[in-house]
Structure 1
């Protein structure tokens, strides 16, 4: 049958009449999903019947391209017809395709067809065959999900590549959980590229296990003090690198999951990820590796680069929801008219017509917000912006437009979110007023609980945020789909081209699996873009960053190692970051005594001269630096020559009797200026940057480590920056110049968020670990070993934003820093609070008698940390 069906299908799609009928159905179906649509022709029952027959033939083949067409015919038919027979056939197609989530949604929210007993029985049997029990819930999976689910128990390494909405990470998390439950001993790590995704995954795991005493779930790169038999780490690649540096050699992993695995091509961070995976593979050949990507090519070669020679692919391009790409253009000479066209096969534009809008589209800067308000309707809308500041500006414009159009919203949920922002971020933060209007922005530098509160509000069916302006952070795996996605540029930052695959990944947020059957991707000004990346699907073409650097910049790496000086980091020259990381990694492998076999595996060239030059330069640098192997091997992300400069400086200062000022102390005990000098010294000696830069961020870093609440910290920071502005203004006035325009409180908050995420929690964390390692070495070398226990491990405090035992215990439970700070007052005075003790305190907490914010309480509930049944009011008999 499959062979005949394929032959018949080819005849159908080779007929122009088929494409004409399909175009008519597509245009009519899309028009039904728009808040404001041009007039379109109805699809006759006869034409619809012909298309449904074609689709019924398509599903009998094994061709995924034909399956995509069959699914589109089914979904668009459900949108345009109320004919019972046609609906029954469309629903039957979804069942044949194994798309039971969309089938179930359509039956509940669009309508059932003229049920036939045979059709109903076939659907229910197929649905039961595709269903899996997850806890107390029986969930019908898509055909692809079922294939992945059945394949996961296999021992072989796997790469799972599918569209964003395919539901792949959910399955992998459940697989890990079941492995943990069924084994006596189990260790796994789930690697995420961003803290936003880390927080989401950790929350799901905590909620899934509900505080089982024998399972540790941790986003902290530290060993388990209770030595529980089962532990699941959720870490970024930097945190995983830190864990591997402190873990004993016999710590191996049963399962390693790498989410957004295409990021192994991401410059220096990609090299960190690759190095971690290599080290894990060396610890045990039995470790199972699972790579997740939203659509990527080249993953087998990537796996070979870290020692996995056989990789089983589980891939699909079939999204379970229909995603329409819609081209929007301002009509020339008509400021209030918008042309709409649907993008069809091979990028062909299918005109739908014009609509009139309420506001002029002449101003290109406000066009994105104007169009989103016109076409967003009552459904959730994501708007892509090129950066965090741009996201804030567009959100402010949306807020103004919506207020003038509909007046102020009245929503208890949004009011609650606004109050949380005022109390836990800053009373004057602009986002507090925006969310009252159902508008927010979202980017990686925001505090995690704030970001999660916005995401939760956006996912609400009613009464939540409807417009969310996002950066590329959302393309890094965070589960936040919407009915509408608006994009008006293929660039990021200051006009840099955006990887087309990343743009497709962002567009993949259109359509909510289990909550919708369709999503719209609106491409604004698309015909004016320099490129047309959305005409045809573009997968991630993944090449390991290390190999690419060796091939393209190998000579520069060799020269830097021979010169004993790495190139200064320059934002406009990303190759400087790659060269620095690559040089440090080669020195690390020289210290690990495996440089030649390592290069032989990762260098994709047979040029013996290049190979020998790199080996010679790295071994020469290693010998000249002269630091212990473990220092160089575990701190390779730091300039190895800078580490030597730091060591020489520390030895000199210790010899001068200044050892006390070198030793980091607990933040709460730090005298004035103590950490300012340490951070300034780290930055100047190790990175070569000005000491002033280190001292600029130092106060913020100290407040952060102390666990200071955001409102207090941000007020101190804004006051400090305002004093600096006043000094500069006075100096400018003396010189007869115009003083610079003072920054707003929102600009100060953004600056603080940026420094915390980019400097304090990234650069300073890596520098802080290296500083401590080198200081311990210097103390031992100068006969000051008795002072070693006094050296506070401040890198972890920088990463977490807490330094007390109570704060760390709450973070260990998966709570955000905001929640941990709010809960610290619950810890008994004078007692050490462990994670287990913190969990018991929260179990005993009566939510009805607390002043905690509803958002904090919501986080506690989501993680299963409060037992509200103990305090539920008694019901009358």
Structure 2
């Protein structure tokens, strides 16, 4: 047994960690408590932790971090400087230098004290560590980041680490250094959802805005020689319009949240986009990252055409304290289980505060409110809700117990919400009390402002849905989990739960974060969650389908009606195989056997496609731009348009009726929504929030016509009568974001691509109609503003450009900056339209 193992398994060290964990927890909940440890015990534990800090074993390193954080957090005032110095030393040895530099007290003074002649050996050691991890005069990497950095000259690289390991920061630094060593640099940063585009682009503009053109769409008609596109896979499809352009030659594609490959709905799209990017620009470097993935290289190699270097760690540079609260019927105490870094589970009894009981947990809204009041006042906290309604109720429950102080920093956001959404919007009430909710139905500008206010500590609690799982960065000291659900019917997996709680405590922000699991007798969902640590094997959705649904695949691959297939993985795998067959029939067998299918079964799939797939005339270039839609249905649209163009055109002279007519025609082919007039039931494969075609087309028309959210909400409220305004807002936002901007735009894009392929077709309005519909305006001048990165709600209020280019318009905007509302100015700065000065 090594010295490290002896130290890690020491009964004394483990008992000390248990005692310190209890002390930190009790102080966190407001109790006066000191662990029964002598100073000699503390020093002995510190010595053992310093040994473990030099181990290469991640479990040993976790224990060293916990020892240092707990000793520093619990030491008395007289010993603060000693344990701060000790913590700095341990963090440095662990390679967590950003955390070391972010200690609450002055690091400069601390480093000076370590550099004392009596400590020259220690000073030399720490200087050497820092110098090894130093990237430049301003940037120091963690040990994990340094390991990744050393591999970034490879063509294929994939890395996996905890949520708080600084993967995005590392890519910012890599792109910065790549720009410095290249005359031109072109990169694509793929994010898993639209909600993340603004946040990631804003972070890159802060870091790199003066060095490279950062865009949030793939429209490159006026692109600089160097650019960074922060886009979703859906938006990335537009990039293939430029494959013949000589000045477009991608240097880097980065895929964030690699585990998205296994999602049945969007995984095949991620796979298809990566494969096509590599096919069109074969020299591009491909890097991917994700949290807690066991087989990152295998996951990436299942998509790209080469072997990938992978770097993994399970070491979390932030210590997390997990506590499970269980309420019992007719009990005056609460059972608490603490997860100690020793590996033990500590069992405690807490006196139950008045008003916080077994029955309180029937109401999640009141549960979070009472926990915040009793245990979390003043902390930056997150509360997880399984649905949008749940998050709103939690935030409003906390807000109702507070006076409405309305911090001055929130005035601009409140005014914006009153004017652009609704004066009775529940989010306003929450913000006035220092809390907020955050989910996909909150307008993007408002989400950006909420995140900024929270990071600036002007809001102290945000209730969130699982958008946090997709990488939204909201560093918190504490998280409340009262329900493990995800949506109305699903449950968070252990992997998703681990990814979720990884948002608590962040490198450079806090030394530790606390997670409260809250359950009750006979509903003890957290029973197995407390001590669960999960590394996930990622299997692409197509691979999973090919391996496990072979018989269904053979039966349906050529003749199945994909509108009727409810399993996302099976449906999209069939669509992908049909597309692949039409583009490169000779690649089918190799693709399938590469996914693990027996050669005989692969040959059978190819034979099915050769014998039974209907004749398809639509050009393969159109299919490649629309990989998630069945080519059989696309071909049906292609045949219709080519036989008679006029019925498929939306025209400005009769915008409303022509839009209604074309939308109805599209629905006769793709069946995306119910249409009683034509006897069409919605496809089983689609999920729409619109009740029927009339509902969808009127909402889409008003959106296209430039109506504000406020106007759309009023129209919807008038149609429904006295329905709750917040329900109207949520439903409308879902229809706009999911039904109109995603589903309907997807089918209009195919139509526009077909028109684009017709020789001498010159109706520019129709050629770009999908873009007009997605952005929410038919006016080219408004679209120009949105192309610059300006949110639609703000673009509708600004003067339209009457100048020749974007730079002239930016100059014009800058001249009137003082007349703009503060929230407009912040948005324009955040999105690179205005300079910070």
- State how many pairs are aligned: 807
RMSD: 2.9
Shift of 1:126: 4.6
Shift of 1:790: 5.7
Q: Take 1:90 and 1:206, find their aligned partners in 2: how far apart are those partners?
A: 33
Task: String of CA shifts for 1:389-426, please: whole Å, max 9, x gaps.
Answer: 221222222222x32xxx33241123332222112222
Tell me the equivalent position of 1:518: 512
Aligned runs of 1:553-568 on 2, under 5 Å?
553-568=549-564
Q: Take 1:651 and 1:289, find their aligned partners in 2: how far apart are those partners?
A: 39
TM-score (norm 1): 0.86
Cα distance, 1:278–1:621 mapped onto 2, change above 3 Å: farther
Instruction: Identify which range, 536-545 or 629-638, moves more after superposition.
Output: 629-638
Cα distance, 1:178–1:819 mapped onto 2, change above 3 Å: farther
Tell me the equivalent position of 1:225: 221
Q: CA contact under 8 A between 1:190 and 1:258: conserved in structure 2?
A: yes
Instruction: Identify which range, 111-120 or 362-371, moves more after superposition.
Output: 111-120
Q: CA contact under 8 A between 1:321 and 1:513: conserved in structure 2?
A: yes
Shift of 1:281: 1.8
Task: String of CA shifts for 1:292-314, please: whole Å, max 9, x gaps.
Answer: 11221222222222224321222
Q: CA contact under 8 A between 2:785 and 2:800: conserved in structure 1?
A: no
Instruction: Identify which range, 801-810 or 468-477, moves more after superposition.
Output: 801-810
Aligned match for 1:827, one of 780, 792, 801: 801
Structure 2: 5+ residue stretches without partners: 677-691
Q: CA contact under 8 A between 1:596 and 1:615: conserved in structure 2?
A: no
Q: CA contact under 8 A between 1:37 and 1:355: conserved in structure 2?
A: no
Aligned runs of 1:25-104 on 2, under 5 Å?
25-32=20-27, 34-37=28-31, 39=33, 41-82=35-76, 83=79, 84-104=81-101
Cα distance, 1:564–1:159 mapped onto 2, change above 3 Å: closer
Cα distance, 1:454–1:562 mapped onto 2, change above 3 Å: same
Aligned match for 2:731, one of 744, 751, 756: 751
Aligned match for 2:435, one of 421, 424, 439: 439
Tell me the equivalent position of 1:255: 252
Shift of 1:554: 3.1
Q: CA contact under 8 A between 2:323 and 2:337: conserved in structure 1?
A: yes
Q: Take 1:9 and 1:804, find their aligned partners in 2: how far apart are those partners?
A: 68
TM-score (norm 2): 0.90
Task: String of CA shifts for 1:408-453, please: whole Å, max 9, x gaps.
Answer: 3241123332222112222221111111011211112432111111
Tell me the equivalent position of 1:628: 619
Tell me the equivalent position of 1:243: 239
Q: Take 1:800 and 1:598, find their aligned partners in 2: how far apart are those partners?
A: 40
Instruction: Identify which range, 750-759 or 110-119, moves more after superposition.
Output: 110-119
Tell me the equivalent position of 2:780: 805
Cα distance, 1:595–1:328 mapped onto 2, change above 3 Å: farther
Asked if 1:203 corresponds to 2:211, the answer is: no
Task: String of CA shifts for 1:73-131, please: whole Å, max 9, x gaps.
Answer: 00000011132444433332222222223323335189969945126734762575166
Asked if 1:121 corresponds to 2:89, the answer is: no
- SS of the aligned residue for 1:338 comes to strand
Aligned runs of 1:567-606 on 2, under 5 Å?
567-568=563-564, 570=566, 575=567, 577-597=568-588, 599-600=590-591, 603-606=594-597
Q: Take 1:612 and 1:228, find their aligned partners in 2: how far apart are those partners?
A: 47
Tell me the equivalent position of 1:12: 7
Q: Take 2:321 and 2:161, find their aligned partners in 1: how far apart are those partners?
A: 18
- SS of the aligned residue for 2:498 comes to helix
Q: Take 1:347 and 1:868, find their aligned partners in 2: how far apart are those partners?
A: 48
Aligned match for 1:793, one of 768, 771, 776: 768
Shift of 1:661: 4.2
Q: CA contact under 8 A between 2:494 and 2:532: conserved in structure 1?
A: no
Cα distance, 1:802–1:199 mapped onto 2, change above 3 Å: farther
Tell me the equivalent position of 2:710: 711
Cα distance, 1:814–1:350 mapped onto 2, change above 3 Å: same
Tell me the equivalent position of 1:303: 300
Q: Take 1:482 and 1:433, find their aligned partners in 2: how far apart are those partners?
A: 22
Cα distance, 1:54–1:196 mapped onto 2, change above 3 Å: same
Structure 1: 5+ residue stretches without partners: 1-5, 723-741, 870-877
- SS of the aligned residue for 2:218 comes to coil
Shift of 1:745: 1.3
Q: Take 2:765 and 2:85, find their aligned partners in 1: how far apart are those partners?
A: 74
Q: Take 1:795 and 1:688, find their aligned partners in 2: how far apart are those partners?
A: 16
Task: String of CA shifts for 1:42-92, please: whole Å, max 9, x gaps.
Answer: 432121112111111112322221111011100000011132444433332
Aligned match for 2:267, one of 254, 265, 270: 270
Tell me the equivalent position of 2:747: 767
Q: Take 1:595 and 1:444, find their aligned partners in 2: how far apart are those partners?
A: 42
